[in-house]
Amino acid sequence: MIITSANVLAKAEGAARNMPLADARAVIPGLQYFDDPPDLHNKLLNGLAEWFIRFTPAAAVDSPDGLLLDISGCAHLWGGEAAYMAEIENRMKAFGYDIKLGIADTIGTAWAIARFGNDTSIVEPCKQTEALLSLPAAALRLEFEILERLDKLGLQQINQFINMPRTALRRRFGEDILLQIDKALGFEMEMIQPVIPAEPCQERLQCLEPIVSAKGIEIALERLLEKICTKLKREEKGLRKAVFTCYRIDGKIEQIEIGTNSPTANTGHLFKLFALKIETITPALGIELFVLTAEVTELVTAGQERLWDDPDMLEDSALSELLDRIEGRIGANHIYRFVPAEHHWPERSYQPAASVFEKVQSEWKVERPRPVQILPKPELIDVTAPIPDYPPMNFRYKGKLHKVTKADGPERIEQEWWLQEGRHRDYYAVEDEEGARYWLFRSGHYDATNSYAWFMHGFFA
Amino acid sequence: MSTKAAIINRLKKEILPLQGFKSTLQNVALNGLLGPVVKAFPNNSFPLGAIHEFISDGATDTASTNGFISVLLHKLMKKKGVSIWIGNTATIFPPALKSFGIAPGQIIFIDLKKEKEMLWAMEETLKCEGLSAVIAFIPELGFTASRRLQLAVEKSKVTGFIVRQNPRNINTTACITRWKITADASKPLYGLPGLGFPRWHVELLKVRNGQPGKWVIECKGGKFIPVYETLSAPLQIRKTG
């Protein structure tokens, strides 16, 4: 059996954490001990974290023996950080807890100060490095193996290795040590997971009488949207995704969901998006509660109004609202915008843009003529062509014989071997007697064994 | 009599703007492009903010029609405009549009198969003010549907193009014009072998308040060059009696 924790008196006598109980009892004959119920510390810490809501809205459990509090914007309510800390200490003492506190800019430094700091427990802003220098290596939340290796090399204090070249540290001790140093100094972001997660942007509407009509649902939706949009506007945010939930009297839940292309807090527009889906709600006996949740919100960056410049219509809100409406009705996988791709194989020379608002990075290539109409899949045709590589004299497409009067080509397009194996294509642009223009290609070299084939691929304007 | 005719002419001209035929800067640019074709239109100006209908009898006709529309689209979109292309858009090859001067990235394609959805999407997009143009591949267009579209553009002033490939029957529609663009044999450049600039038979089958006509037009570097030689071919001498 091993000691998991000891009180101040026992510690003074010589008992310590991770000490075999037998050893401790040998040292202190009158030692009282109790079984440590599994999961007790987690339960305690969770309870405490919830209790700390009176000090800060974001309190998190740091297993096995700590709590993390995000006190940004809270301390001044108690008259400064020192007073804030004293208050917490007193309250905890009244409960019978002995605690150590540390306040710093980063989670890592606060953790170190609370556990290993001796004289001061408040680290001034941007003074993490100074605060950490005199602390032992264990204050960096490192794994046991790394601590052991550091110890073996005589690097017991942080100031002995914190200024070493990063490459040397990485080679000797792995990536983790750098990560922990960066976290402690604030070069790496670290988030806490509050026990009570941040409330999503939500509005509720309770109904006295159950709602059964579409008009009623519309009115409820309008009211909720108005509330949520005023809230979002105040926070300079826009809605990207929202869920409208209807709780029916019979216990069933009806939901409709919308998404937008760009953040918006325009009540009218959002209502139109929802209105396309209201008919899918079955009220049955009636709906007693409406809840509108803004699942995803984003900051709205107010663009500067331009008077003289020719505005880019792609950035227009009217267009994104239009696309939202179309998406809402027929689905997002029907709307495309194309950007050039760096390939010369025709089928791969363009690709769908990641979003409607993606900027075109590279240039469209126009050196060679390309047909306006293309067949998504080239179609096999019969061709009479002088060998070895003259343009066709005539060809049969969809049962009709076309006599070629003029032709350009060949333009050879090789397979991109790093993507796909196969035969190259020799493209010809040909015109028939009527003036219609076609884009044909022979797949592969001409050879007498007839292993090549001719295809129709497109139509020129 | 002549004064009476002049008065009627003047009154007709006054009525046209009231009916929505207004001249804007874009009209001027398009009129310069279209050359002799503008004489067919009311007020001698290409009608914008209206629906134009194109009939095509197959893939090659559609290609010619698309070429013709693309040249107009280049003038309509200018640099930063956006147009929307609705229908079976898998047959469009976006890089080719660049050779007509259009930035293919400024076109949004809405790939739809069902006629009902296409008409809904077209009406919805036509209502969006600020779009340069809306092009749709809709084979069948009923009168009621075309009327709805026409009403939508009258308010938003967006120009719509409807390409009807192999329509089952060519019915009456509320579209302001009906065109048919077919390919014509090109003329080799300076007697060199190979393809010359594309040439189209442009047929204006119907135009409201205008004069239908036929032209042969060559498309040269994003501009229309009218070809007169085919028109001035010697007429066959017919003998009567």
pLDDT of residue B161: 94
Sorted by where each begins, the domain ranges of chain A are 1-36, 40-185, 201-299, 373-459
In the beta sheet, which residues pair with residue A186? none
Give a yes or no: residue B217 inside a domain. Answer: yes
CA-atom Rg of chain B in angstroms: 19
Tokens, residue A26? 């040998």
- Number of DSSP helices (H) and strands (E) in chain B, helices first: 6, 9
Closest CA to A205 of A222, A220, A227, A226: A220
Give a yes or no: residue B173 inside a domain. Answer: yes
Is the omega angle on the peptide bond into residue A194 within 30 degrees of 0, that is, cis? no
In this complex, the residue of B100, B121, B196 whose CB is nearest that of residue A326 is B121
Tokens, residue A452? 């090549």
When mean pLDDT is compared across A446-455, B14-23, B78-87, the lowest value belongs to B14-23
DSSP B210: S
The verdict on a CB contact (< 8 Å) between B95 and A360 is no
In this complex, the residue of A353, A429, A437 whose CB is nearest that of residue B183 is A437
CATH class for domain A201-299?
A: alpha beta
Tokens, residue A99? 């605690």
In this complex, the residue of B98, B106, B186 whose CB is nearest that of residue A366 is B98
Residue-wise pLDDT tens digits, B165-223:
999 988 899 898 999 999 988 888 777 888 888 899 999 999 988 889 999 998 887 78
Q: What is the dihedral of CA B41, B42, B46, B48, to 10 degrees?
A: -140
Contacts of B123 in chain A (CB under 8 A): none
Contact call for residues A202 and A232 (beta carbons, < 8 A): no
Question: pLDDT-based confidence at A363, cuts 50/70/90?
Answer: confident
Relative orientation angle of helices A166-173 and A175-185, to the nearest 10 degrees = 130
Query: What ranges make up the beta strands (E) of chain B?
Result: 51-56, 83-87, 107-111, 133-137, 159-165, 177-184, 199-207, 213-220, 223-227
Contact call for residues A290 and A246 (beta carbons, < 8 A): yes
> Would strands B159-165 and B51-56 be described as parallel, antiparallel, or unpaired?
parallel
Helix (H/G/I), strand (E/B), else coil: B224: strand
The verdict on a CB contact (< 8 Å) between A330 and B121 is yes
**Which chain B residue has the Cα nearest residue A408?**
B194
pLDDT of residue B230: 47
Residue-wise pLDDT tens digits, A75-92:
888 888 889 888 888 988
Residue A20, phi then psi, degrees to nearest 5? -60, 140
**Which chain B residue has the Cα nearest residue A375?**
B91
In chain A, which among 369-388 make CB contacts under 8 A with chain B? Answer: 369-376
In this complex, the residue of A319, A408, A459 whose CB is nearest that of residue B63 is A459
Rounded Cα–Cα distance for residues B228 and B240 (Å): 29
Contacts of B91 in chain A (CB under 8 A): 373-376
Residue A360 at interface with chain B, using a CB cutoff of 8 Å: yes
Q: Could you tell me where the DSSP H helices lie in A256-409?
A: 267-275, 317-330
- Amino acid sitting at position A448: A
Closest CA to A82 of A121, A112, A108, A55: A121
The verdict on a CB contact (< 8 Å) between B130 and A313 is yes
pLDDT of residue B233: 46
Query: How many domains are there within chain B?
Result: 1
Give a yes or no: residue B236 inside a domain. Answer: no
Contact call for residues A282 and B100 (beta carbons, < 8 A): no
Tokens, residue B75? 């003038």
Contacts of B90 in chain A (CB under 8 A): 376
Contact call for residues B52 and B175 (beta carbons, < 8 A): yes
N- to C-terminal Cα distance for chain B?
A: 38
Q: Closest Cα of chain B to A388: distance in Å? A: 19
CATH number at residue B198: 3.40.50.300
Contact call for residues A69 and A56 (beta carbons, < 8 A): yes
Rounded Cα–Cα distance for residues A184 and A128 (Å): 7
Rounded Cα–Cα distance for residues B189 and B220 (Å): 11
pLDDT of residue B67: 92
In this complex, the residue of B89, B103, B186 whose CB is nearest that of residue A431 is B186
Average pLDDT over residues A229-257: 88
Give a yes or no: residue B23 inside a domain. Answer: no
Average pLDDT over residues B14-24: 68
The verdict on a CB contact (< 8 Å) between B193 and A337 is no
Residue-wise pLDDT tens digits, B57-67:
988 999 999 99
Rounded Cα–Cα distance for residues A288 and A129 (Å): 57
Give a yes or no: residue B98 inside a domain. Answer: yes
Give a yes or no: residue B58 inside a domain. Answer: yes
DSSP letters, A353-394, are: -SSTTPPP-SPPP-SS---SEEEEEEEEEEEE--TTTPPPSE
In this complex, the residue of A322, A429, A438 whose CB is nearest that of residue B124 is A322
Average pLDDT over residues A167-189: 88
ipTM of the complex: 0.85
> Would strands B199-207 and B177-184 be described as parallel, antiparallel, or unpaired?
antiparallel
Tell me: pLDDT of A421 over 90.
no
pLDDT of residue A428: 92
Containing structural domain, residue B155:
47-227
Residue A406 at interface with chain B, using a CB cutoff of 8 Å: yes
The verdict on a CB contact (< 8 Å) between A459 and B62 is yes
CATH class for domain A1-36?
A: alpha beta
In this complex, the residue of A322, A335, A364 whose CB is nearest that of residue B104 is A364
The verdict on a CB contact (< 8 Å) between B108 and A337 is yes
Rounded Cα–Cα distance for residues A163 and A302 (Å): 43
Rounded Cα–Cα distance for residues B239 and B236 (Å): 10
Q: Closest Cα of chain A to B6: distance in Å? A: 42
**Which chain B residue has the Cα nearest residue A338?**
B105
Rounded Cα–Cα distance for residues A356 and A319 (Å): 10
In the beta sheet, which residues pair with residue B164? B55
Rounded to 5, what percent of chain B is helix, strand, coil?
40, 25, 35
B177-184, strands of its sheet edge to edge = A350-352, A335-340, B107-111, B83-87, B133-137, B159-165, B51-56, B177-184, B199-207, B213-220, B223-227
Q: Closest Cα of chain A to B18: distance in Å? A: 27
Residue-wise pLDDT tens digits, A16-31:
878 888 888 888 888 8
**Which chain A residue has the Cα nearest residue B101?**
A366
Contacts of A407 in chain B (CB under 8 A): 194-195
Residue-wise pLDDT tens digits, A294-330:
888 888 776 555 555 456 667 777 888 888 888 888 8
**Which chain B residue has the Cα nearest residue A353?**
B105
Give a yes or no: residue B219 inside a domain. Answer: yes
Q: Closest Cα of chain B to A244: distance in Å? A: 24
The verdict on a CB contact (< 8 Å) between A429 and B195 is yes
Contacts of B186 in chain A (CB under 8 A): 406, 431, 435
The verdict on a CB contact (< 8 Å) between A372 and B124 is no
Helix (H/G/I), strand (E/B), else coil: B74: helix
In this complex, the residue of B67, B80, B132 whose CB is nearest that of residue A311 is B80
pLDDT of residue B22: 63
Contacts of A362 in chain B (CB under 8 A): none
Residue A436, phi then psi, degrees to nearest 5? -70, 145
Contact call for residues A89 and A99 (beta carbons, < 8 A): yes
Rounded Cα–Cα distance for residues B28 and B204 (Å): 20
